[in-house]
Amino acid sequence: MKLEDNLPVVHEETAIIDLPKPNYDSNTSIEKALKKRRSIRNYSDESLTIEEISQILWSAYGVTLYKDGMPDFLRGGLKTAPSAGATYPLEIYVVASDVTDLPAGIYKYKPEGHKLIKISAENKREELYEASFGQDWVKDAPAALVYSAVFPRTTDRYRERGRERYVCMDLGHSAENVYLQCVSLKMGTVAIGAFDDLKLKLLINMTKGEEPLYIMPLGKLKESEEEK
């Protein structure tokens, strides 16, 4: 028996957390966010808030348009990030360890209704650090996003082109949104593709159909970074 044979086919939605409503306006222009966007690996010791996590998740994959009659595969409607054929192959998890009003644990983002599904109530920061081959910024961050993809959502329509191009393009669209939102929130992040795939998949308890793609640690900027 393979280790991944014990992974769920779907996640039970038995523990749901309603996220705070995201903010649709800020004092940071898109031009300023683009100019200041950087990959940040050093974070302050400050806790994050559930409001900041909510805002980051909305920017990554939040629903921006829903109309009656939209197909179910949209999973809530059109989103902040474009997707090939609106197939939306991505899933996003939050590994929380120091977030105000959000207990430590692993959560899956549900764009429909802007909610979190609790996957684990354990603090997995150390295990995430180990799965990322010991990258210190993963251990130092009070939270991290973990991206995965359900490739058949896209490849059923686009075949190998979906696997070789479109899903990765979708990932880049969403991750850039996170980078830009972090600028507005005076936060930092970095996109990480170096990790043990199986360890990460088991740690997060992804469904059998998912493949891990990115880790994005999240933290508040140190004063030295804010001045740049």
> What pLDDT is attached to residue 213?
98
pLDDT grade, residue 6 (50/70/90)?
Answer: confident
Rounded to an integer, what distance in angstroms lies between the CA atom of residue 117 and that of residue 223?
A: 34
Rounded to an integer, what distance in angstroms lies between the CA atom of residue 195 and that of residue 95?
A: 15
72's CB contacts (< 8 A; 6+ apart) are: none
Model pLDDT for residues 99-146, shown as the tens digit of each residue:
999 999 999 999 999 999 999 999 999 999 999 999 999 999 999 999
Helices (H), 6-113: 30-36, 50-61
Provide the token pair at 12: 């039970």
> What pLDDT is attached to residue 223?
79
Is the domain covering 27-226 a CATH 3.40.50.300 domain?
A: no
Q: How many Å separate Cα 221 from the centre of its chain? A: 19
pLDDT grade, residue 228 (50/70/90)?
Answer: low
> What pLDDT is attached to residue 61?
98
Model pLDDT for residues 18-33, shown as the tens digit of each residue:
999 999 999 999 999 9
For residue 123, report the phi and psi dihedrals to the nearest 5 degrees: -80, 110
> What pLDDT is attached to residue 130?
98
For the chain, the distance separating the N- and C-terminal CA atoms, rounded to the nearest angstrom, is 52
Closest CA to 45 of 225, 222, 187, 216: 222
The full set of domain ranges for the chain reads 27-226
> What pLDDT is attached to residue 65?
95
Model pLDDT for residues 35-68, shown as the tens digit of each residue:
999 999 999 999 999 999 999 999 999 999 988 8
| CA 77 vs CA 13, 81, 207: distances in Å | 19, 11, 22
SS3 111: coil
For residue 43, report the phi and psi dihedrals to the nearest 5 degrees: -125, 155
